[in-house]
Amino acid sequence: MKKIHVLFLFGFLTQLSFAQKEPVVMTINNKPVTKSEFLQIYTKNNPNPSFDKDSLDRYMELFEVFKLKVAEAEALGYDTLPRLKKELEGYKKQLALPYLIDSVQNLAMVQEAYNRTATEVRCSHILVKLDPNASPKDTLVAYNRLLGLKARIEKGEDFASVAKSKLGSEDPSVVNNGGDLGYFTAFQMVYPFEEKAYTTPVGSISEPFRTRFGYHILKVTDKRAARGTIKVAHLMISTGREAGTETRQNAEKKINEIYDSLAAGASWEKMVSAYSEDANSIKKGGELPAFGSGTSQRMVLEFEDAAFSLKKVGEISKPVKTQYGYHIIRLIEWTPVKSFESMRRELQAKVNKDERSKITQDSFVQKLKTQYQYAYQADKALSMLEQQIDSTYFMGKWKASALKGNKTLFVLGKQKYKQQDFAMYMEKNFRTVRKDAPSVVVKQLYDQWEKNQILAYEEELLPAKYPAYKALLQEYHDGIILYEIMQDQVWNKAVKDTAGLRVFFMDNRAKYSWYERLDATVYECKDEHVAVQVYGMLISSDTINSKDVLEFINKESELNLKVRMNKFEVLQTPYLQNQRFTTGLNPVYSFEGKWYVVSVAALLPPAPKEFNEAKGIATSDYQAFLEKKWLETLRLKHQIVINEDVLYQTGQ
């Protein structure tokens, strides 16, 4: 998470200004930092900026610290480390994609995505897995196998039965769903699958088609208007797929009791906090990510149907059973499908990151050829390569160095692309092609290589052509090296320097102390009647334990009693505050609608924490200490000059 934090929260600070003679707000080691660069961070963090002196001073302090760390990382050569250069190159390829597409075709893809967002399709599928580089023989076997399965269905066999049969679908989920994928819209499946689903008529079965997972056939069972985007919260009692009958019955009983309590007016937040077993959502009141049209998020069919059946904000569903357990769903927000114009920017971003963007590259390459006066000269040179391809090539033993001559294959702009360059590509990429005739292999590899080289040519020109792209590259560059130097100088250093951490702990030991604690068993009861029962059981016998009490009290309802055993800090535990406890069993009392019985094994007075007890927070403090000392040395090493006249004119 730290890496993402640095990259996206600190990285944007480094975007550059491309205006000429722009006012300089700061210099670091005589390198200018423009007013617009500082202004960008200030306005991004202040939606309604006031530009007063205090605010500008505070943000300049943050900006200065950031610049110091980046300057030190560059001074130490972090930006030259092969591993980080490779990482940046990967980001560079991703960031360049939106600029390496045919904009006309791209707009058509955006419109298509919107149309599909407004329509949901339901289909079932059968998958035969296939390696992307499978041989023609294996490919044909998979294709024919699917044709055979399709023929069985067309002769009257049930799709789900065929999918689940021996040598049927290899999608692991088929055991539970018979191949039924439910309803989906754009961006919720890989694009080739989405394309086939939306272009196959309802009731029809597609011809076999290929995705990166293998070969599929699908049957479209329904199409309907999209139901929009929905956000809900849920309270879940989990069972798991392997749960036995008793576990499922207890879960169903518990969820029904919870529903009855909610229907009677119990607080949703308190019930979620007390009973939900979804660890990912419990701290957010059960809130889940939005799902439905225009999102990449999907839920199982039973959950989605129950959620979309809710009509009023705050309305809750009756208990819903899914493969994960039992749920009660609460509506937070529902939004119908928006207009194309309001979704256009969002859809454009998704298309640019999706497989769709690659579809437009072929036409874009043709435009680049025209723009940069492409000249093809490869016929004879490729014929020479075809003559040298033999069986050793497919074993990875063929070497480009054996090639004689270095003829030009094509020219783009002023750049000549040579035979030896392509031969090196062939040597490295022998695994990307299936074994075939030399002419077929060379043609396939050449087409790939030529396209890559033309796109790479354009990619090198992007920073000069698109200031926004150049700024984004700088952002990622600075974020990557900043994360790495913080790892070395602060985060990992504090963790690895155990001796230094212990010294720091001892020097600051007064900061790490326990408040008053109880070594206790806490019985949290549904109501006063249950609390009195618990108290009576405990006081009547010295041998009864918490498990016995829990089993007896919860015999009729799983909501009656919850038991906690721990060493509790009184001041940090709300239901223990403002109570007077003694060793042994304490009187029944209530707090915020719940009733408590507390059995105290020991009263633990305030005491210093041992190193192992305070290690987590001490490590965090030690990191802050190391960072502070490190920054002191950076301020001595790197010269920063603030132009206050320009700074205080920011926003004018």
Which residues are registered as beta bridge partners of 32? 27
Can you say whether the dihedral through the CA atoms of 553, 557, 558, 562 is positive or negative? negative
DSSP track, 46-96 = -SS----HHHHHHHHHHHHHHHHHHHHHHHTTGGG-HHHHHHHHHHHHHHH
Provide φ and ψ at 409, rounded to 5°. -95, -40
Asked if 364 and 397 touch (Cβ cutoff 8 Å), the reply is no
SS3 326: strand
Dihedral angle sign, alpha carbons of residues 509, 515, 519, 524? negative
536-540-541 Cα angle (round to 5):
130
Cα separations in angstroms, 516 against 9, 571, 572, 579, 603: 39, 8, 10, 12, 8
The residues near 376 (Cβ < 8 Å, ≥ 6 apart) are 409, 410
Cβ-Cβ contacts under 8 Å for 341 (sequence gap 6 or more): none
- Distance in angstroms (rounded) separating the CA atoms of residues 348 and 357: 10
Q: Are 639 and 67 in contact (CB under 8 A)?
A: no
Top-tier CATH class for 229-336: alpha beta
As a whole number of Å, the CA-based R_g of the chain is 33
CA distance 195 to 83: 38
CA–CA gap between residue 320 and residue 327 (Å, rounded): 5
Q: What's the CATH code, domain 513-608?
A: 3.10.50
Tracing tokens 């920054």 back to the chain, one arrives at 631
592 Ramachandran zone, left/alpha/beta (phi>0; psi -120 to 50): left
Report the side by side order of strands in the sheet with 640-642.
31-34, 24-28, 640-642
- For residue 608, the cross-strand partners are 513
Residue 19, pLDDT score: 35
DSSP secondary structure of 190-252: -HHHHHHHHHSPTT-BPPPEEETTEEEEEEEEEEEE---EEEEEEEEEE--TT--HHHHHHHH
Can you spell out the DSSP letters for 561-618?
EEEEEEEEEGGG-GGGTT----SEE---EEETTEEEEEEEEEEE--EEPPHHHHHHHH
- Whole-number Cα distances in Å, 218 to 154, 183, 257, 293, 546: 12, 13, 42, 21, 55
CA 577, chain centre distance (Å): 40
Cβ atoms of 356 and 113 within 8 Å: the answer is: yes
* The domain defined by 119-225 carries CATH number 3.10.50.40: yes
State the pLDDT at residue 652. 59
Quote the CA–CA distance of 423 and 428 in Å, as a whole number: 9
Q: Using the 8-state DSSP alphabet, how is residue 487 labeled?
A: I
The DSSP element (H or E) to which 39 belongs, if any, is helix 35-45
Assess contact for 531 and 588: CB atoms under 8 A.
Answer: yes
Cα 499 from Cα 477, distance rounded (Å): 34
Asked if the domains at 229-336 and 513-608 fall in one CATH topology, the answer is yes
Q: Are 220 and 200 in contact (CB under 8 A)?
A: yes
Count other Cβ atoms within 10 Å, centred on residue 628. Answer: 10
Q: How far is CA 369 from the centre of its chain?
A: 37
The residue extents of the domains of the chain are: 119-225, 229-336, 372-464, 513-608
What amino acid occupies position 218? L
Q: Which residues lie closer than 8 Å to 442 by C-beta, 6 or more apart?
A: 382, 385, 386, 389, 426
- Per-10-residue mean pLDDT, the chain, length 652: 36 34 87 78 75 86 92 95 93 86 86 93 96 84 95 96 95 92 92 96 95 95 94 93 82 94 93 93 94 86 94 96 94 94 89 80 90 93 88 89 88 94 93 84 93 94 85 86 94 91 94 94 95 94 90 90 94 94 96 94 94 93 95 95 87 60
Query: Dihedral of CA 252/254/255/261: which sign?
Result: positive
